[in-house]
Structures are given as structure tokens and as C-alpha cells.
Amino acid sequence: MMIKPDAIEKGHIGSILEKVTSAGFMIKALKLTQLTKRDAIKFYEIHKERPFFDDLIKFMTRGPIVAAILEKDNAVSDFRTLIGSTNPVEAAEGTIRKLYATSVGENAVHGSDSEENALIESKFHFSGREIF
Ligand code: GDP
């Protein structure tokens, strides 16, 4: 997962991590860091033809993010349920995006969309000695 710059600017790191651990996720790796433009382009490569790509890269690089590796049974789908829909207007009550997101673009958190991508994204953010 990532906590995105909008949520960090608003001081929501602690509240979001609290919701994540209360939902039964174990934190296996955690860091506050900032993506370079090159990092963000690589991370969101799949969206490079989308009209919002430039805005997404600007947003994700404008300040620090928190990256974490989480562990739980059914982690990918349970985490997507916990964060809610991409657009906070459509997100269910009580979800992280409903509570903390600003807009469809500035939506507070990222969650991997498959186990395969979770592994790729874990290696993107962390070296082996940072994973517990
Ligand atoms: P996610 O899996 O729920 O994060 O959603 P997607 O994979 O579809 O999109 C990746 C990220 O791109 C989203 O979390 C948003 O930050 C951003 N994004 C998606 N759709 C839009 C959009 O219509 N406008 C803008 N500005 N950003 C968007």
C-alpha cells in the first residue's frame, strides 16, 4: 500500500495506519519516502495513455508518501474493500477513501490490485533487509 501525498499533507498517516492494523493487517515493511518523477512514471506505467497521467505523476511526486507491505489472508481483496472505490464519492461509508480522500485523483491511498502486482510493488519500494 501507499499513503498518498494528499493524506500526508492533511496529517492522516496515524489514522490510516490505525484503520489498517485494526482491520487485521500485519505491517511487514514501512517507510516515509518521496517518489521521483522517474519512480512515479514506472510505478503507474500501466496508466501512461490515460488523460489523467500527467496529473497523477505531478500529484504522486509533490510530497512524501508512506509505503508499506501488509500481510493478511485475502489481503488484496480485503484491502480494496477497506479503502473503498477509487472515487471517494462512490466509496462506501467508513472506508479509508470515504473518510480521507479529496477527489478521484487525490484519493489518499493506493492498494495493489493483484497478488502479482503486490509482489512487484513490494520490491519496487523495499529491499530484502527492510522486509520483516
Ligand atoms: P485504484 O486501483 O483504485 O487506485 O484506481 P486505478 O488503478 O484505476 O487508478 C490509479 C490512480 O490513478 C487512482 O488511484 C487515482 O489516484 C488516479 N486516477 C484514476 N482515475 C482518475 C481520474 O479520472 N482522474 C484523475 N485525476 N486521477 C485518476
Give the per-residue pLDDT at 27.
98
Known active-site residue 110: yes
* Domain 2-130 part of CATH 3.30.70.141: yes
The rounded mean pLDDT for the chain is 98
Q: Per-residue pLDDT tens for 22-74?
A: 999 999 999 999 999 999 999 999 999 999 999 999 999 999 999 999 999 99
Pocket perturbation via mutation, ligand 1, pick of 52, 77, 79, 114 by most ligand atoms within 8 A of CB: 52
Q: How many CA atoms lie within 13 A of 74 on its CB side?
A: 7
Ligand 1 cavity residues, CB under 6 Å: 47, 52, 55-56, 86, 104-105, 107, 110, 113
